[in-house]
Chains A and B, each alone.
Chain A
Amino acid sequence: MTHRRLLYAVLVLLAWAVVLVLLVPVPVTAPLQPERIEKLDGGSFIPVLGRSQVGERGLDIRSMDVDEGALQVRPLPGVQAGDFQVLRYRFEEFPRNLELVLVFRTREHPEDVQAVTIPTVVSGTGTVDLTAIDAWRGEIVELGFAQYPGPQSVPPASAFRPFTLVEAQLWSPSWRGAWAARMQDWFGPRSWALLSLSALGPDSALPKGRSLVAPVVLGALAAVLLGVLVLGWRGQAVLPPAILAVALAWLLLDLRWLHGLHARYASTGEIYSGLPAEERQRRLPDQALYDSAQMVRRVLGGSSERNLRVFVDAGADFQRARLLYHLLPMNVAPVNMVGLGTPEQRAGAILVLYNVERLRYDAGDGMLRDATGAMPAIELFDLGPLRVYRFPGIRP
């Protein structure tokens, strides 16, 4: 019986190894260690956006650019994409709320800058499987990293902390590199996104990896089936090991999720922890829209008079919906739903536009024009993306 148990243990480990091997994106014949490593010191990267300087450990990124981003690139001496399967990168004290993006350019399409979100690592080494990136082909002539606050989820002004780009390495295909990339894909931290409320997995902008759920199921199934075949589990005897296998599989997935949940919470804490509730409520990912709403409110004399009706439109659904929310309790309506009504219906009403190109104002004749026609309006102010008008007339 001891021999059978030993055989069972070996077979289970073998089955798990087969499952994992199938999921690791590397040819079976690949070497254990990478044969070629292209080392790119942090100090060799050139800051393009943001303020940086070469420090003792690498390139110290001190601030982001006014458009809230930072970019560091360096030329490559004609690296063939196919020769390298894995990118390893090391940062120190990388801010949790910045998205990390790999940027590169190829000799074949020098005008196209490819940008791919890759997993962030606060301090330590990150690994990404380059074969999961469609554009990673041809001859790479330039490579770099960009950082910017997570869109729609992170207040831009709070996201940045100084950090250091220590180094990056390109690895030729190897088991070690492929395994590290798979582990990073499965257990690396993720950030909240609007889609997180609907689907976990697709809510990340990272290159599409392979789910951990299916291999965990296969691993548990293999353990039970091999028990039936090798150890002769029958009837009620299957139950305890099967329940144990399911429990361990569930626990593994749950610990992975808890690890991720804690990382998400830590990101939130980095921005909001220690702030009073009122301040937290004002520190928003769409700060520009919030400020715009405050500006509209000030111009209209802080009026939340219900009779003052406000049409709101924006260049994107997100901007329109958020502007509507920030303008409350004004009596607001989305233009994509109500339109602009007849001249009588909109008489005396306000029109707030944010990043709307289709409506242009001609100060000469005081008309707002779009492709379908024109309507008289009085410009209250024009601050670039934010424009506010009043429709003439008095509502009967």
Chain B
Amino acid sequence: MTLNIQEILVLQNRVAYARDEQAYKKLFLHFYPSLFRFSNSILNNESIAEEVVSDVMMRIWEMEIKLAYIDKLGLYLMTSIKNASFNQLPKTEKKLVDIEVIDENDFTNENPESRYIYTELQSRTEKAIQNLPKQCQLIYRLIREEGLSYKEVIAILEISQNTIEAQMRIALKRLRQTLNAYLYPKK
């Protein structure tokens, strides 16, 4: 379900003042996919990611009238998810350090747990993205997958424009290398 900015504001108000459950449900369904993806890309754990999103959305209901005063709900939610997700990581992982290589099999069609269907190339691309340094990966996903603007990414991750540019260069270069390896495999 996709809503535009005006519709979101209307629904926010209905939830804040009229405690309208249908309005709340519409907001939930609209935001859930991207919130879940974002949380999962930080945590790499679908179960905990679901819990994090549920807790954040619970707070949206509990804040009652204060909800009406939130200016950009999408941004607010993404920032909340970011903070809540990082809080769930074990202490050692809280800094944006490199993650280990992820098993390529996690992204194939043979994995029944996967929610997504991949071609061979997409599978390699996804693995390459997963192997990026954490912050680099998050920036790439927010820009490419969530379609956020630089300004929004700056607000959510609390980084500078220079950082975005530098990290996007790293990400795109890595993807280009992945594509080359696929097209011209070394024998």
A and B: interacting chains? no
Chain A residues with CB under 8 Å of chain B are none
